[in-house]
Amino acid sequence: MNKQIVVAEDFNVSRKIIVSALTKEGFSVMEAIDGTDAASLFDGRPVDLLITDFNMPNMNGAELIKKVRSMKKYEYIPILLLTTEVKQEKIQQAIDGNITAHIKKPFDAQEFIKVVKKALR
Amino acid sequence: MNNDFLQEFIEEAKQLLKSLEQSLLELEKNASSEEVNKVYRYLHTLKGSGGMFGFHNIERLSHELESVYSDIRDGIRQQDDFILDLTLHAVDVLADLLDGKDAEKDSEKIIQTIAGLKNRGQNTKSNSLGIADGALNCYAVMLKPEKEIFKRGINLSSILDELHELGGCEFIIHNEVVPFEKQLSNKEIVSWFEIIVATKTDIEGVRSVFLFLKESEYAVLPITFPEIFSSSSYQDHIALGPEEVERRLTIVQQLAPDLLHAETIALPATQNIAAALQPDEEILDDSENSDKIARRSKKSGHVSVATQKLDHLINIVSELVIFRSEMSHLMADTVQSQPIVEALEKLDRLTLSLRDSAFNIRLVPLNILNVKLQRLIRSVSKELNKEVDFITEGLDTELDRSMINALEAPLMHIIRNAIDHGIEKPEERERRNKPRKGLLKFYSYNSGDHVFIQLQDDGNGLDFEKIKAKGIEKGLLSKNQNYSEKELINLMMSPGFSTAEKVTTVSGRGVGMDVVKRDITAMRGDIEVSTEKGLGSIFTLRLPLTLTVLDTLVVEVAKNKYLIPINEVEHCYKEQHEALFSKKSRQIKYDGQLTPFVSLREHFSINEFNKEETVIVINKNDTRIAVVVDGIIGKLQTVYKPLNELLHSADCFSGASILGDGSMALILNALKLRN
């Protein structure tokens, strides 16, 4: 079975770029347009990786991550957080100790895939 | 040719093949030039002595193999899996040739394959020389993951795997207050790791393994000179004493032998370690091989003795033990002076310690099974496309040699089963959030008179649904009834039951778990299985330390004495004959349960009974049966003697023993009395 990746990103163009880069590598991708949408995908199905934006309507990245981590099945899955500003105090506090790595936007596609593959090991 | 010498040569050559096998397996894990050299030397020795004793087929085959390894040693050829498989196969063929089996064809095939290999090598020679290998670099990695690293979705095992993939790796786990595997399963890391890696990658490559880790969680230090371990940059992470420094230097020496070469010569201390590590180095050089091997055995303080001689010694000692009891028996009846009593006591002590050390000679560490198990795991996991890490602990636990031989088949079967049915395919494991590689743990320890062996896998656990379905299909179970896990496990180990669909060459060898159980029981041992769905199974074997000494309860029936193994006895009490035999069904109530009993007098068709009977409740493998005898005489440690083939029809006796007064007593096999 292919690796199942959930991509949560409200900005359509960004999400399409990410999704196309991932599908090209042969991953199965489930898209979510905001935090609530993404959270609904964590319904017990197998998910191998979550890639999420921080600033999203309805439920932001930090809340989404907290929710995902609270579910037994997804307690230890790798999570990559897309951010524009890594050093923001607020973000740092909200997600510290919960995510696998930050990916700073904009990013180089090759570099991005490398990180995704590593997170999926 | 002198026959004694020939026998000696065969023994030595077998020893040599074992070492060769061990080195080859080592080579697979870690392709060091040191190990290649060892393989080369073993083959060389074999060639030389084989020729000397007229084994020209062995001489020729080892010569061909030797030439392959001399090429590898000289860098003309690359060590690869194919060559390794071929050589391992050749080891088996060589063993067959030694045993005088007809293995000429196999030998010829290998020689042809090697010839083909050489042609191929010549064609690509220029090529392979063109891609010069980068030199090995060595790094020390200090890995101090946060306690809750798993909460970040980081899989520590895969980081460690990635390190392994870089090249040779040696882990030193610090602060292992909780076993590391336990930490992994608890998802809570309390240890930190010092890892020495030998790799062709540069420092950035090594650092990239830790991409997701915080700067504070790891450090990579290049090892370029021996003093690094005592330097302040190293001591900032961990303060090392001289011995610990030496240990690390040894590791580096093993992982990258050439790295610190120049320096080791300059440093007398490290040179000593290297020398201590390879005590055989200078001795096993060239020519005059048999002499050299003899010298080597002397050096390591081992003497090999033919099993026959050993058995003879054990027999004499056994008789001495019996004679001692006889003596004290005789003396007890006569009046005696204090000095005689003291002398007797001394004799007692001496005989007992003589007996203990004689029995100890027969004990061999389980270690001798290690290579066989490793090879089995290697071939089975390859065949089934599974990845398995084999961890052993307590291989120095000792058992009677005959038991170790008898253990081999059951252990192999359990392992084969664990890999075939237990451990999942790597992809499947990943999906289940388990590490890609399955873990098979071999754990053994001593406890009292018993040795425990545990085989633990982290696979899927027993599939009770499947067992039940199979049981119903075979008509052994009823569809509508619920069965406990214990009942299903018992069923799995009963004759005629095997869930293996006999398709794979692996588990379809016609033997099922029932044979394992039977083998273990024949050794007076037990087997227990515990399993957790999705998490794996543990097979626990409990075995007596030796087959020959037995603690027994001596009972009397119509003036004859019988022995009951004391570990089977659960309870003894007296009862009036009337009360026992009042009901038609031969049952007593014990521990709230009806337990069948057999009166030995009745069993032997003696129709007179005593007024007061003695009931002995026996519990063997969780099955209870009571035996009614005239009385209990006492406890006795006896030497077990198997019964003659002709007596096997009397299967309510498992063996015989000679009592202190020189008379013989049969050992009861109570469970067989029921039928």
Cβ count near B254 (within 10 Å): 19
Task: Give the closest residue to A27 by CA, choosing from A48, A42, A54.
Answer: A48
Section B402-424 average pLDDT: 85
Give yes or no for residue B387 having a pLDDT over 70.
yes
Give yes or no for residue B278 having a pLDDT over 60.
no
pLDDT at residue B397, rounded to an integer: 84
Which of residues B62 and B544 earns the better pLDDT score? B62
Give yes or no for residue B163 having a pLDDT over 50.
yes
Q: What distance in Å separates the CA atoms of residue B260 and residue B225, rounded to the nearest whole number?
A: 6
Which of residues B36 and B649 earns the better pLDDT score? B36
Give yes or no for residue B49 having a pLDDT over 90.
no
Determine the 3-state secondary structure of B75 from DSSP: coil
Based on C-alpha coordinates, what's the Rg of chain B? Answer: 31
Pairing between strand B192-199 and A101-104?
unpaired
Q: What distance in Å separates the CA atoms of residue B548 and residue B655, rounded to the nearest whole number?
A: 11
A23 contacts chain B (CB < 8 A): no
Q: What distance in Å separates the CA atoms of residue B531 and residue B538, rounded to the nearest whole number?
A: 6
Which of residues A106 and B16 earns the better pLDDT score? B16
Query: Which residues are registered as beta bridge partners of B444?
Result: B453
For chains A and B, CB pairs below 8 A equal: 42
Section B546-552 average pLDDT: 70
B147 contacts chain A (CB < 8 A): no
Residues 98-117 of chain A with CB under 8 A from chain B are: 98-101, 115
- Residue A18 one-letter amino acid: I
Give yes or no for residue B159 having a pLDDT over 60.
yes
Judge contact between B480 and B492, C-beta under 8 A.
Answer: no
Based on C-alpha coordinates, what's the Rg of chain A? Answer: 13
Q: Which of chain B's residues have a Cβ under 8 Å away from the Cβ of A42?
A: none
* % of chain B surpassing 70 pLDDT: 83
Q: What distance in Å separates the CA atoms of residue B669 and residue B650, rounded to the nearest whole number?
A: 10
Residues B427-475 have pLDDT tens digits of 888 888 888 888 999 988 887 668 899 999 998 888 888 888 888 887 7
pLDDT at residue B647, rounded to an integer: 67
Q: Do A76 and B433 touch (CB under 8 A)?
A: yes
Q: Which of chain A's residues have a Cβ under 8 Å away from the Cβ of B161?
A: 121
B96 contacts chain A (CB < 8 A): no
Determine the 3-state secondary structure of B194 from DSSP: strand
Contacts of B611 (CB under 8 A, 6+ apart): B576, B577
Helix (H) or strand (E) holding B580: helix B577-581
Q: What distance in Å separates the CA atoms of residue B434 and residue A106, rounded to the nearest whole number?
A: 33
A121 contacts chain B (CB < 8 A): yes
Q: Do A119 and B212 touch (CB under 8 A)?
A: yes
Q: What distance in Å separates the CA atoms of residue B515 and residue B472, rounded to the nearest whole number?
A: 21
Give yes or no for residue B500 having a pLDDT over 80.
no
Q: What distance in Å separates the CA atoms of residue B332 and residue B330, rounded to the nearest whole number?
A: 5
Give yes or no for residue B20 having a pLDDT over 80.
yes
Structure tokens at B516: 């394992």
pLDDT at residue B119, rounded to an integer: 66
Query: Which residues are registered as beta bridge partners of B193?
Result: B143, B173
pLDDT at residue A47, rounded to an integer: 92
Q: Search chain A and give the residue with CA nearest B160.
A: A121
Structure tokens at A17: 């770029």
Residues B631-656 have pLDDT tens digits of 888 777 777 777 766 766 677 887 88
Q: Do B153 and A79 touch (CB under 8 A)?
A: yes
Angle between helices B464-473 and B485-492 (to 10 degrees): 60
Q: Do B153 and A121 touch (CB under 8 A)?
A: no
- Using CA atoms, how far residue B424 sits from B376, B380, B381, B436, B509, in Å, is 17, 13, 11, 9, 21
Task: Give the closest residue to B362 by CA, choosing from B396, B320, B398, B395.
Answer: B398
Q: Do B153 and A99 touch (CB under 8 A)?
A: yes
Residues 78-97 of chain A with CB under 8 A from chain B are: 78-79, 97
Q: For A118, which of B148, B152, B211 is closest by C-beta distance?
A: B211
Give yes or no for residue B277 having a pLDDT over 60.
no
Opening angle at CA B595, ends B590 and B601, nearest 5: 105
pLDDT at residue A52, rounded to an integer: 92
Q: What distance in Å separates the CA atoms of residue B591 and residue B573, rounded to the nearest whole number?
A: 13
Smallest Cα distance from B219 to chain A, Å: 18
Query: From the candidates B154, B210, B211, which should be mutated to test the interface with A, based on the most A CB atoms within 10 A?
Result: B154
Helix (H) or strand (E) holding B376: helix B367-383
Residue linked to tokens 């020209």:
B56
Residues 61-80 of chain A with CB under 8 A from chain B are: 69, 75-79
Smallest Cα distance from B432 to chain A, Å: 9
pLDDT at residue B284, rounded to an integer: 37
Residues B603-637 have pLDDT tens digits of 888 888 888 899 999 987 678 899 999 988 877 77
Q: What distance in Å separates the CA atoms of residue B501 and residue B159, rounded to the nearest whole number?
A: 37
Contacts of B132 (CB under 8 A, 6+ apart): none
pLDDT by residue, tens only, chain A of 121 residues: 688 999 999 888 888 888 988 998 889 999 999 999 999 999 989 999 999 988 888 888 888 998 999 998 998 999 998 877 655 555 565 566 788 888 877 778 888 888 898 888 8
pLDDT at residue B297, rounded to an integer: 38
Structure tokens at B134: 């980068």
pLDDT at residue B170, rounded to an integer: 86
Q: For B211, which of A69, A75, A115 is closest by C-beta distance?
A: A115
* % of chain A surpassing 90 pLDDT: 31
Average pLDDT, chain B: 78
Query: Which residues are registered as beta bridge partners of B561?
Result: B556
- Using CA atoms, how far residue B529 sits from B185, B470, B497, in Å, is 21, 19, 16
Q: For A46, which of B151, B427, B431 is closest by C-beta distance?
A: B431
Q: What distance in Å separates the CA atoms of residue B453 and residue B540, rounded to the nearest whole number?
A: 6
Section B30-59 average pLDDT: 83
Task: Give the closest residue to B290 by CA, choosing from B8, B100, B3.
Answer: B8
Residues B166-194 have pLDDT tens digits of 888 888 888 888 888 888 888 888 888 99
Residues A30-58 have pLDDT tens digits of 999 999 999 999 998 999 999 998 888 88
**What are the backbone angles phi and psi of residue B494, rounded to the nearest 5°?**
-95, 155
Smallest Cα distance from A36 to chain B, Å: 21
Q: Do B153 and A78 touch (CB under 8 A)?
A: yes
A119 contacts chain B (CB < 8 A): yes
Task: Give the closest residue to B434 by CA, choosing from B640, B634, B155.
Answer: B155
Residues B112-125 have pLDDT tens digits of 888 877 765 444 33
Pairing between strand B612-620 and B623-629?
antiparallel
The DSSP call for residue B469 is H
B176 contacts chain A (CB < 8 A): no
Q: Do A77 and B150 touch (CB under 8 A)?
A: no
